[in-house]
């Protein structure tokens, strides 16, 4: 089951902190989100596009939020004008939501708020190899340290508001968790057959000659004799394998059916744990496989997933409460498009 961690509150807080250096945006996102004026020239990013109870949301803020949303979507393809307009509107809506929450959160007294802000800034700086690298990233984001600090302060206050008003009061009963498990056993909690294996690869390129392929097979056969004769499999993989997994002694981790090329998969799921295969040929070359473990398809037990279910249900309850709260704030607020 995928746990939903981005509640409406965390989304708002994320957008407020989106300018903390370290938040990645791709080039496509940067190109797509640059605001332009009616004449096609670059727009004034300090200009307000919306007032929320008199507090301006600027073009620069919308631009940065749009970059974040595009980066999160993973798109590398240029978007058309209508698509960009929709993303910009989503960014503006999220920033409006965040501002409404912040205006309420600002009424709270948070202990050591200044220290918490400084800590958040220091954590951001620590992501960079040097102070100059941090300064370069800050300039690239179009922010000042003061703006960055304000965003961090808003994020902390919003999170505190949500924690105190909703998270701390929300409870999930045993009955609710058990009911969710029973109703979603087939959908979320089936574990497919899987295995864990290591391999030694003697790589063959598609355009290699027949003689080169023969030599590669002979090398694989020689390596097979070594590991079946008692040489340490992981050590042979580290020194002889052509696969990047050699750094881990050939360990490929856990995988299910459909994740490996067919000849490799067929060999793995026909083996018993501890066995070493004969030489297996695939489109990558020649493999020697050692099966570490194999697990049949099964359904996760309730006790094993109970904690995740409770957290998921709690997140959902908080999300709904915050959404209703924001709608209430919006109904009382004066929101003016400039």
pLDDT digits (tens, 9 = 90+) for 32-71: 444 333 333 344 557 899 999 999 999 989 998 888 888 7
Q: What pLDDT does 77 receive?
A: 73
Q: What pLDDT does 273 receive?
A: 96
Q: How far apart are CA 257 and CA 269, in angstroms?
A: 9
**Tens-place pLDDT, residues 159-179:** 999 999 999 999 999 999 999
Task: Please provide the CATH number assigned to the domain covering 193-296.
Answer: 3.10.50.40
Task: Please provide the CATH number assigned to the domain covering 8-174+308-337.
Answer: 1.10.4030.10
Q: What pLDDT does 175 receive?
A: 97
Q: What pLDDT does 45 receive?
A: 54
* Interval 287-316 mean pLDDT: 95
Q: Identify the weakest region by mean pLDDT among 14-28, 40-54, 99-113.
A: 14-28
User: Mean pLDDT score of the chain, rounded to an integer?
Assistant: 86
Q: What pLDDT does 34 receive?
A: 41
pLDDT at 237 over 90: yes
**8 A C-beta contact, residue 234 and residue 250:** yes
Burial group, residue 39, by CB count within 10 angstroms (0-12, 13-18, 19+): exposed
Q: How far apart are CA 240 and CA 281, in angstroms?
A: 17
Q: How far apart are CA 200 and CA 237, in angstroms?
A: 5
Q: How far apart are CA 214 and CA 223, in angstroms?
A: 14
Domain boundaries, the chain: 8-174+308-337, 193-296
pLDDT at 10 over 70: no
In this structure, the number of other CB atoms found within 10 A of the CB of residue 222 comes to 11
Structure tokens at 15: 């957008």
Determine phi and psi for 14, rounding to 5 degrees.
-65, -40
Where residue 7 falls among pLDDT bands split at 50, 70, 90?
Answer: very low
DSSP string, 152-193: HHHHHHHHHHHHHHTGGG----HHHHHHHHHHTHHHH-EE--
Q: How far apart are CA 262 and CA 284, in angstroms?
A: 11
């Amino acid at each position: 089951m995928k746990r939903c961690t981005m509640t409406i509150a965390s989304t708002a807080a994320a957008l407020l902190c989106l300018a903390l250096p370290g938040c990645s945006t791709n080039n496509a996102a940067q190109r797509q989100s640059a605001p332009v004026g009616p004449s096609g020239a670059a727009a004034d990013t300090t200009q307000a596009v919306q007032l929320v109870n008199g507090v301006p949301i600027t073009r620069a803020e919308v631009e940065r939020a749009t970059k974040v949303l595009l980066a999160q979507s993973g798109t590398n393809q240029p978007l058309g004008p209508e698509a960009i307009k929709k993303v910009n509107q989503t960014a503006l809506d999220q920033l409006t939501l965040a501002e409404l929450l912040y205006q309420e959160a600002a009424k709270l007294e948070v202990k050591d708020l200044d220290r918490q802000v400084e800590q958040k800034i220091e954590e951001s700086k620590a992501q960079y190899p040097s102070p100059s690298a941090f300064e370069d990233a800050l300039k690239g984001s179009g922010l000042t340290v003061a703006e960055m600090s304000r965003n961090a302060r808003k994020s902390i206050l919003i999170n505190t508001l949500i924690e105190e008003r909703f998270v701390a009061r929300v409870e999930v009963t045993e009955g609710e968790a058990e009911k969710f498990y029973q109703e979603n056993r087939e959908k979320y909690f089936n574990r497919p057959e899987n295995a864990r294996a290591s391999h030694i690869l003697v790589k063959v390129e598609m355009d290699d000659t027949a003689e080169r392929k023969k030599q590669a097979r002979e090398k694989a056969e020689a390596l097979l004799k070594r590991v079946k004769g008692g040489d340490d499999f992981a050590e042979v993989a580290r020194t002889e394998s052509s696969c990047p997994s050699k750094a881990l002694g050939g360990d490929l981790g856990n995988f299910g059916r459909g994740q490996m090329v067919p000849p490799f998969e067929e060999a793995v799921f026909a083996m018993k744990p501890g066995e070493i295969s004969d030489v297996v040929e695939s489109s990558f070359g020649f493999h020697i496989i050692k099966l570490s473990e194999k697990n049949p398809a099964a359904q996760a037990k309730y006790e094993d997933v109970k904690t995740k279910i409770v957290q998921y249900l709690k997140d959902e309850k908080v999300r709904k409460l915050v959404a209703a709260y924001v709608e209430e704030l919006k109904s009382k607020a004066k929101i003016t498009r400039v």
